[in-house]
A and B are shown apart, each in its own frame.
Chain A
């Protein structure tokens, strides 16, 4: 066994993910930001935007749910663990910072996928038909990884006060929802809004979900997938690099 080898580090990252799932998924902020928030936003827009078809809104709900759930756990884990000194325990174990980050990302990804599949089932129960199921599954998987990386990026500032990070997280996440075509179709956006939407990975995921449920889309499917893949790689590499630099400052 080579403890520093990739396979061994991935195995240890899985141990981190299992620990995260056991400990963090029942925390209040996770439930509030991950589940209640998208549901209430959805209900608000459902009642306020009667001219928008249900398929459009459910697609938005699926997009929001994945975005909020996959980014709900990850930003708070490092501050929580820094505060409880358990991060120091991990830092003294034979696991790379990258593997710790990967473990946290795996947990967020799984949580995001699990809750999002529930909203897909809700959509189907409401009478919507799933036209492109494989595309939807691929999009959920890719976007969950991408959003988990965003969540970990939000945790980069080396503070051990979870509320600081949750505040920063909300500050960035909510505007992102409004510029990503969740509630306002991309076709109806002004040019400056569209320019902002291009910069958000949620835009491409929402477009893919909409395509999966309605068959219509703004970008070509391959553009959406390539964009999500691009964001995922950039954010994952960025978060691993930055956490490696800031980790000692948390101790």
Chain B
């Protein structure tokens, strides 16, 4: 299940608060160089899991290997290699952006000269350089979040944890952060992203894990997850002339064919077989295919299906 290229290995992680089990014996791994999305409804255990993985709270059972270090036994060595962007901005508001970054540099043991260079570069990239000497309390939410990202990146971590990094941000800040995350990932940084935003997860993540009521209910690439939740596939096809409905419905692999406007909504058990049949059908009936779309379920659909209470 685990390989040497795994930068995170959650092993039977469990966290209880009183009688409530927030995270229930979950195990999963995150591979080096991937963007891993961690999804789940409110109260599912996402933040608790992230806090255990980042060594903020200890698990009741199990452990996690982060960058090869046991987060319970060697927390300092593990933390030295990753950065954390929490959901709530937690920069020191009584300090300036620059002072916050220098503090981070000191806490990660970075030589002052290197801290200065990195801080200047990050503030420039994130559009904060001109306001570096202003106290953080005067910053907007987007600026604070960008500063938090800069603080997490100062020591050039190989692994970055982000908890809802774009939640409630304006479009400009969101795009800036997402663009930076893509660039970081292309440069080799592994990213563990907790998010509610399915579109964000769909576009960014190589794999996603979905947690519900403290248990992992799905773990796969977004496209595979979308496909896996529906055994019946939907296709939409239109021809340049009228075709008989019963002929379409009787095609190999096709379950039903319903007309909507100038298109046909086809349901099929086997998408590949249905497409092949439709192509053959168009040739045999001398009807040109004008449009042919596969209507895959969205990640939203997958998420809703997998996190539904009655889902096994």
Closest residue of A by beta carbon distance from B86:
A88
CA distance in complex: A251, B50 (Å): 12
- Point out the residues of chain A lying under 8 angstroms from B54, CB to CB: 92
Give per-residue flags for A7-42: 1 if the beta carbon is below 8 A from chain B beta carbons, else 0.
011011011101100110000000000000000000
**CB pair A15 B106 closer than 8 Å:** yes
Cβ of B247 < 8 Å from any Cβ of A? no
Please report whether the interface of chain A is mostly helix, strand, loop or mixed according to DSSP. Answer: helix
- Point out the residues of chain B lying under 8 angstroms from A9, CB to CB: 76
**CB pair A3 B57 closer than 8 Å:** no
Cβ of B58 < 8 Å from any Cβ of A? yes
Q: Which of B58, B77, B95 contacts A22 (CB 8 A)?
A: B95
CA distance in complex: A16, B94 (Å): 14
Closest residue of B by beta carbon distance from A86:
B90
Q: How many A-B residue pairs have CB under 8 A?
A: 82
Closest residue of A by beta carbon distance from B151:
A89
Task: Tell me, rounded to whole Å, the shortest Cβ–Cβ distance linking A86 to chain B.
Answer: 5
- Point out the residues of chain A lying under 8 angstroms from B109, CB to CB: 1, 3, 8, 11-12, 94
CA distance in complex: A1, B108 (Å): 11
CA distance in complex: A91, B50 (Å): 13
Number of interface residues of A (CB under 8 A): 28
**CB pair A15 B103 closer than 8 Å:** yes
Cβ of B107 < 8 Å from any Cβ of A? yes
Task: Tell me, rounded to whole Å, the shortest Cβ–Cβ distance linking B221 to chain A.
Answer: 28
**CB pair B107 A251 closer than 8 Å:** no
Residues of A81-96 whose CB lies within 8 A of B: 84-86, 88-96
**CB pair B107 A94 closer than 8 Å:** yes
Give per-residue flags for B56-76: 1 if the beta carbon is below 8 A from chain A beta carbons, else 0.
111000000000000000111
CA distance in complex: A251, B99 (Å): 24
Q: Which of B56, B76, B99 contacts A94 (CB 8 A)?
A: B76
Cβ of A53 < 8 Å from any Cβ of B? no
- Point out the residues of chain B lying under 8 angstroms from A16, CB to CB: 107
Cβ of B142 < 8 Å from any Cβ of A? no
Cβ of A4 < 8 Å from any Cβ of B? yes
Cβ of B93 < 8 Å from any Cβ of A? yes
Cβ of A190 < 8 Å from any Cβ of B? no
Task: Tell me, rounded to whole Å, the shortest Cβ–Cβ distance linking A207 to chain B.
Answer: 39
Cβ of B209 < 8 Å from any Cβ of A? no
Task: Tell me, rounded to whole Å, the shortest Cβ–Cβ distance linking A50 to chain B.
Answer: 44
Q: Which of A1, A92, A251 contacts B79 (CB 8 A)?
A: A92
**CB pair A23 B107 closer than 8 Å:** no
Closest residue of B by beta carbon distance from A96:
B76
- Contacts A3-B109, A4-B76, A92-B84 given; does A19 touch B95 at CB 8 Å: yes
- Point out the residues of chain B lying under 8 angstroms from A94, CB to CB: 75-77, 79-80, 107-109
Residue among B108, B109, B151 with most chain A CB within 10 A: B109
**CB pair A93 B90 closer than 8 Å:** no
Cβ of A127 < 8 Å from any Cβ of B? no
- Contacts A22-B95, A92-B84 given; does A248 touch B79 at CB 8 Å: no
Q: Which of B86, B88, B107 contacts A15 (CB 8 A)?
A: B107
**CB pair B51 A12 closer than 8 Å:** no
**CB pair A95 B55 closer than 8 Å:** no
Task: Tell me, rounded to whole Å, the shortest Cβ–Cβ distance linking B276 to chain A.
Answer: 53
Cβ of B104 < 8 Å from any Cβ of A? yes
Residue among B88, B91, B103 with most chain A CB within 10 A: B103
Task: Tell me, rounded to whole Å, the shortest Cβ–Cβ distance linking B120 to chain A.
Answer: 19
CA distance in complex: A135, B25 (Å): 59
**CB pair A85 B107 closer than 8 Å:** no
Closest residue of A by beta carbon distance from B58:
A248
**CB pair B56 A92 closer than 8 Å:** yes
**CB pair B77 A251 closer than 8 Å:** no
Q: Which of B56, B95, B104, B107 contacts A88 (CB 8 A)?
A: B56
Residues of B79-134 whose CB lies within 8 A of A: 79-80, 84, 86, 88-95, 99, 103-104, 106-109
CA distance in complex: A184, B102 (Å): 48
CA distance in complex: A84, B94 (Å): 11
- Contacts A84-B93, A86-B90 given; does A251 touch B76 at CB 8 Å: no
Task: Tell me, rounded to whole Å, the shortest Cβ–Cβ distance linking A12 to chain B.
Answer: 5
Task: Tell me, rounded to whole Å, the shortest Cβ–Cβ distance linking A96 to chain B.
Answer: 6
CA distance in complex: A248, B93 (Å): 23
CA distance in complex: A22, B102 (Å): 13
**CB pair A23 B94 closer than 8 Å:** yes
Closest residue of B by beta carbon distance from A19:
B103
CA distance in complex: A91, B52 (Å): 11
- Point out the residues of chain B lying under 8 angstroms from A95, CB to CB: 76, 107
14 interchain pairs, CB-CB under 8 A? A3-B79, A4-B77, A11-B106, A12-B107, A15-B106, A15-B107, A23-B92, A85-B86, A92-B55, A92-B84, A93-B107, A96-B76, A248-B56, A251-B57
Q: Given A15-B107, A18-B103, A93-B104, output 8 extra A-B contacts at Cβ < 8 Å.
A: A1-B109, A3-B79, A3-B80, A12-B106, A14-B106, A85-B90, A86-B91, A89-B90
Sort A-B residue pairs by CB-CB distance and give the 5 closest, nearest first. A15-B106, A94-B79, A4-B76, A85-B90, A94-B80
